[in-house]
Chains A and B, each alone.
Chain A
């Protein structure tokens, strides 16, 4: 169905090739997963399939990519529209209509399909993706998961033979992600659709993939079955790391397989020791906190306390009120009701230096904080703001993400490096509280490990409080000491990470699912517990 023959790709003004001599044939009805570190060229590979690269982005392409016999060298992306449905990284940017129904119809309108065909297909797709209740809703009012489903629906409605998705679940909570992926799985099996998908959160997709393309960032791409590739690649989901840590001969890619292989480890008895965390001073108290937008309440009168040295993960569905809570704590908006106290101060009234020293906030788009023309200018500005000796911020950055050249423009940094820069700018003023809003969007495993290490270090060695909103269960398992779970503006669970994560199977990390009923959340926990026995 899709054929890459001797494909090499290089972008102008770049010294490294993105792909070098890639040969790959994808058969009809296959589900292929593309993995690799951030910035390695996953998106480029996906966009080569319908010719957006190089027709839309520029760049020099050698070799040939053809889909169903149509070469992208001779056909422009528009001419492939009936063959390929493509869903970009950020579906909200690609919408061309106001309501769900009109968005679904757009692709067929431009292909000039007759009206009765369009009506039938719109109904079909509405049912297939359970979008029927949303058909007349304005797209701007939908949640992230719903928008993703609309984007997939809009791509499917022209009955393409190939569906290409770039990180379809990165902004979704675990349950919404599961929903989207199982729909894709069904399409592959029911309709023989060919699916090519790029994703960082392997634990979510690996069980559905037939083959993996691993791009290592230096132009080399390996192709193989999930087991073959994951055995060697440094990028692997937690269960593969578990298999490696336990020294198993084979690796399993699903929880079921891994449970069968690890029976012997689960039979052993362990004595669970419950550590009571040392009591520290309160840094944040909020009482009866209410935030409302117009008529709807984002938070209904919630009360809690956060202590120094804690890493608190705020979890919940898309649109549950996580961001509203973080923004209220950071003092972006005056809450509608209730009170917040950060070390005895009202966050809404903090300004300038005092604010920087009390609270650091990393928004969903870390680049919102950055405006310098280079890393050096950015670091100097932070030094000046905080009256530090020149070079302090850059030293912090070197510690967080080594090897960033000072002359680089922040835009040219990878996602993880940019987060590192924003973080070091914020940390240079040494705030008592650090708040991060979904920091792991688009981060690969390596960058995530770095972030975990940095944050644990920050909270443990200086006794600072860290609060982060995230959908990433695996990150929470590694990093957080406490979880606050929000649903519809209410706190439904608030307790230690172990208690909250193990109480719901949907939010349990993979290792916990494999090792249940033992209370182990991560590979580290398992290894430590087993070593304790010997």
Chain B
């Protein structure tokens, strides 16, 4: 045992607190600095577990979402007047769709508003991705109350399968590169997705079968071999997030 880690709920409560604070502040600078803090926390606190590596993918995913959201945001929608940057040709739309247009003049105001909205979505994804990569899904299972056991099984399977997907993606992409296939671009994703889905489904079923045959959820009471306790450290982490919620 290297170091006693935090309570499994700690990072999730912290993430919820940060998310609420971000939504209430609704300020770009606050959002960006929150994401920065989260990144620093993850890169210093994470250990060498498989789920810890999923954070890099969370970052990539949210960067991609931000890019798509921005492009769509400036190309489609209600025009906002302001300083123009460049002009795109307007796609003619039928008369029954008034107020919506595709293309046209892109203004600073429109660009910045779609960036801000995209950033908000991404920050929430990053924050919860951080919680998932800092918390062991197995420890989470141990503290979830047993009477919501079906829900708990689903949560644990989801949180433990997702990070394992990341290592499976690496393995499958390697195999396909060796088959001489391209591993970049959209069509390569289709080739990765099919073996990936199959494997994650098989994995989830195995885990569920294992939990089932070991009697999980049969007895409503559960004893503790080595109880996970809530310590001062945990309270401190949660208080930092709660503090932000209060001042927002």
Point out residues on A near B: beta carbons under 8 Å. 47, 50, 52, 55-56, 76-82, 84, 86, 88, 90, 93-99, 101-102, 105-115, 118-119, 122, 136, 138, 140, 154, 158, 330-332, 351-353, 355-356, 359, 361, 363, 365, 367-371, 373, 385, 411, 425-426, 429
- B219:A368 contact, CB within 8 angstroms: no
Chain A residue at minimum C-beta to C-beta distance from B175:
A368
**Chain B 192-223, CB within 8 Å of chain A: the 1/0 string?**
10110011001101111111111111110111
What distance in Å separates the Cβ of B181 from its nearest Cβ neighbour in chain A? 8
- B213:A114 contact, CB within 8 angstroms: no
- A122:B180 contact, CB within 8 angstroms: no
Chain A residue at minimum C-beta to C-beta distance from B146:
A110
- A94:B180 contact, CB within 8 angstroms: no
**Chain B 33-70, CB within 8 Å of chain A: the 1/0 string?**
00000000000000001100000000000000000000
Given contacts A52-B213, A105-B225, A112-B223, contact A81 B218 (CB under 8 A): yes
- Name B209's contact: one of A94, A99, A105, A140 (CB within 8 Å): A94
- A108:B223 contact, CB within 8 angstroms: yes
- Answer yes or no: B231 CB below 8 A from chain A CBs: no
- B171:A368 contact, CB within 8 angstroms: yes
- A369:B213 contact, CB within 8 angstroms: no
Seed contacts A363-B171, A365-B199; 7 additional CB < 8 Å A-B pairs = A113-B223, A138-B49, A359-B178, A361-B178, A367-B198, A368-B172, A368-B175
Cα–Cα, bound, A108→B218 (Å): 12
Which A residues are in CB contact (< 8 Å) with B141? 96
- A96:B207 contact, CB within 8 angstroms: yes
What distance in Å separates the Cβ of A229 from its nearest Cβ neighbour in chain B? 28
- Name B174's contact: one of A115, A332, A426 (CB within 8 Å): A332
Cα–Cα, bound, A110→B213 (Å): 11
What distance in Å separates the Cβ of B7 from its nearest Cβ neighbour in chain A? 14
Given contacts A140-B49, A369-B179, contact A98 B136 (CB under 8 A): yes
Given contacts A81-B214, A356-B180, contact A109 B222 (CB under 8 A): yes
- B210:A111 contact, CB within 8 angstroms: no
What distance in Å separates the Cβ of A428 from its nearest Cβ neighbour in chain B? 11
Cα–Cα, bound, A99→B228 (Å): 14
25 A-B contacts, Cβ less than 8 Å apart?
A56-B208, A56-B212, A77-B212, A78-B214, A78-B216, A81-B215, A88-B209, A97-B138, A97-B142, A98-B49, A102-B225, A108-B223, A109-B224, A110-B216, A111-B215, A112-B223, A118-B225, A119-B225, A330-B178, A352-B180, A356-B179, A365-B171, A368-B195, A369-B175, A426-B179
- A78:B179 contact, CB within 8 angstroms: no
- B215:A50 contact, CB within 8 angstroms: no
Given contacts A136-B1, A352-B180, A367-B198, contact A96 B213 (CB under 8 A): no
Which A residues are in CB contact (< 8 Å) with B233? none
- Name A332's contact: one of B178, B191, B192, B225 (CB within 8 Å): B178
What distance in Å separates the Cβ of B13 from its nearest Cβ neighbour in chain A? 20
- B190:A112 contact, CB within 8 angstroms: no
- A56:B215 contact, CB within 8 angstroms: no
- Name A98's contact: one of B138, B171, B209 (CB within 8 Å): B138
List residues of B (78-104) whose CB comes within 8 Å of A's CBs: none
- B218:A385 contact, CB within 8 angstroms: no
Cα–Cα, bound, A384→B223 (Å): 60
Cα–Cα, bound, A2→B76 (Å): 67
Cα–Cα, bound, A113→B224 (Å): 9
- A84:B213 contact, CB within 8 angstroms: yes
- A78:B210 contact, CB within 8 angstroms: no
List residues of B (173-193) whose CB comes within 8 Å of A's CBs: 174-182, 190-192
Given contacts A112-B219, A140-B49, A385-B180, contact A371 B226 (CB under 8 A): no
What distance in Å separates the Cβ of A200 from its nearest Cβ neighbour in chain B? 19
Given contacts A78-B213, A93-B203, A94-B209, contact A371 B195 (CB under 8 A): yes
List residues of B (152-186) whose CB comes within 8 Å of A's CBs: 156, 171-172, 174-182
Chain B residue at minimum C-beta to C-beta distance from A118:
B225
Which B residues are in CB contact (< 8 Å) with A52? 209, 212-213
Which B residues are in CB contact (< 8 Å) with A361? 175, 178-179
- Answer yes or no: B139 CB below 8 A from chain A CBs: yes
- B180:A110 contact, CB within 8 angstroms: no
- B194:A371 contact, CB within 8 angstroms: yes
Which A residues are in CB contact (< 8 Å) with B181? 385
- B215:A93 contact, CB within 8 angstroms: no
Chain B residue at minimum C-beta to C-beta distance from A47:
B209
Cα–Cα, bound, A154→B203 (Å): 19
- A88:B225 contact, CB within 8 angstroms: no
Chain B residue at minimum C-beta to C-beta distance from A357:
B180
Q: Which 5 A-B pairs have the closest CB atoms?
A: A81-B215, A94-B210, A105-B225, A93-B206, A368-B175
Cα–Cα, bound, A454→B112 (Å): 63
Cα–Cα, bound, A426→B211 (Å): 38
Cα–Cα, bound, A122→B177 (Å): 45
Cα–Cα, bound, A335→B138 (Å): 34
- Name B178's contact: one of A154, A158, A355, A367 (CB within 8 Å): A355
Cα–Cα, bound, A56→B171 (Å): 29
Given contacts A98-B49, A355-B178, contact A108 B225 (CB under 8 A): yes
- A77:B139 contact, CB within 8 angstroms: no
Cα–Cα, bound, A351→B181 (Å): 8
- Name A363's contact: one of B175, B180, B191, B199 (CB within 8 Å): B175
Given contacts A99-B1, A367-B198, A371-B194, contact A78 B175 (CB under 8 A): no
Which B residues are in CB contact (< 8 Å) with A99? 1
- A105:B226 contact, CB within 8 angstroms: yes
Which B residues are in CB contact (< 8 Å) with A101? 225-226
Which A residues are in CB contact (< 8 Å) with B172? 368
Chain B residue at minimum C-beta to C-beta distance from A94:
B210
- A98:B139 contact, CB within 8 angstroms: yes
